Amino acid sequence: MTRAAVVAGVGSALPPSVISNEDLTARLDTTDEWIRSRTGITRRHVAGAKQSTADLAVRAATQALTSNEPEHVDALVLATTTPDRCCPATAPAVATRLGLTGIPAFDLAAGCTGFLYALATGAGLIAAATARTVLVIGADRLASLPRPDDRTTVPLFGDGAGVLLLRRGTTDEPGALGPVVLGSDGTGADLIRAERPGALHMDGADVFRHAVDHMAAASRQAATAAGWDLGDVDRLVPHQANHRITSFVARRLGVPADRQLGNVAEVGNTGAASIPLLLDRASSDGQLKPGHRTLLTAFGAGLTWGALTLTWPDLTRTRRLEGPRHDQ
């Protein structure tokens, strides 16, 4: 069989501070009904001033490593839009805090599609025999990007981290990553941009249109490359931007509501952390079961987009059955 990257562990972390819609209405010109009807979000977790992207990444990675306890980790890829510093990268510090000094560790920036780009990179390291085991992390503190008084963007974003541990395996194993579809279009770079924290700009209408079109198209391509019909999909796992985008994508693909996974109501848009956070939650609460044919898809700033397939593996023997870990 052909060598492949196989999911061997999962973990996630959310900051303990929760900001509800009611909390936002006390300082913004908005209402709970306005936020819910347009985004589907009721609350979001927000990191404190002393909680860094690295802190969230280390918490989530520790949980993923505890769930599997591999003998070695050969590489670490961190997808993030909010590194702790412009230079150096955040990933080496994360690796060192995990006791992995010496391994290759690097950041990857592809907006909210970053985790899928990172999975493709980790799979490539395994396929090239550069690594046997790779930690793939998505971690973001997006709540710091909007202007504090911007009622259209502040309610959207939350903070968090999620991780998949990949190991070397074969394409016939449950958990093997299928073909990855990735794309970008720099002509749309200004549609989602932030020159610095507190200065996020987003053109909502155009972002909505591009997100639905590209996520649906990439999903079809990934399913076709895997030899699946869209009717074969047991679970659709879209980037949790807002419920309108995910609903339209599912509708475009013909995936019924009972096969769609979502947690945007509880965590908001967590950027590169979105998909692994959702995978960890769904596998913990039984919505995502071993054998489920799973389709992941995302869209983000850049513009970037992607999709991939896998059959969810049985991780119950090696992972803790708790939900996302909250920083203390």
Q: What is the DSSP letter of 313?
A: P
CA distances from 158 to 139, 146, 194, 253 (A): 11, 11, 16, 27
How far apart, in whole angstroms, are the C-alpha atoms of residue 56 and residue 159?
Answer: 9
Given the structure tokens 């670490």, which residue do they identify? 76
Active-site pick, 68, 242, 263, 269:
269
Active-site pick, 210, 214, 239, 243:
239
Strand partners, 194: 200
Report yes or no: 13 and 56 within 8 Å, Cβ to Cβ: yes
The closest of 17, 50, 22, 56 to 36, measured between CA atoms, is 22
How far apart, in whole angstroms, are the C-alpha atoms of residue 164 and residue 10?
Answer: 5
Active-site pick, 45, 112, 242, 292:
112
Report yes or no: 180 and 231 within 8 Å, Cβ to Cβ: no
Tokens matching residue 262: 């979502």
The three-point CA angle 79-84-85 to 5° equals 110
Is 239 catalytic? The answer is yes
Is 86 catalytic? The answer is no
Q: How far apart are the first and last CA of the chain?
A: 44
Tokens matching residue 314: 């049985």
Amino acid code (one letter) for 276 = P
Is 292 catalytic? The answer is no
Roughly what angle, to the nearest 10 degrees, separates helices 243-253 and 204-225? 40
The closest of 241, 274, 284 to 116, measured between CA atoms, is 274
> Residue 186 CB: number of other CB atoms within 10 A?
9
Strands 3-14 and 325-326, sheet pairing: parallel
Report yes or no: 299 and 214 within 8 Å, Cβ to Cβ: yes
Give catalytic residues, as residue numbers: 112, 239, 269
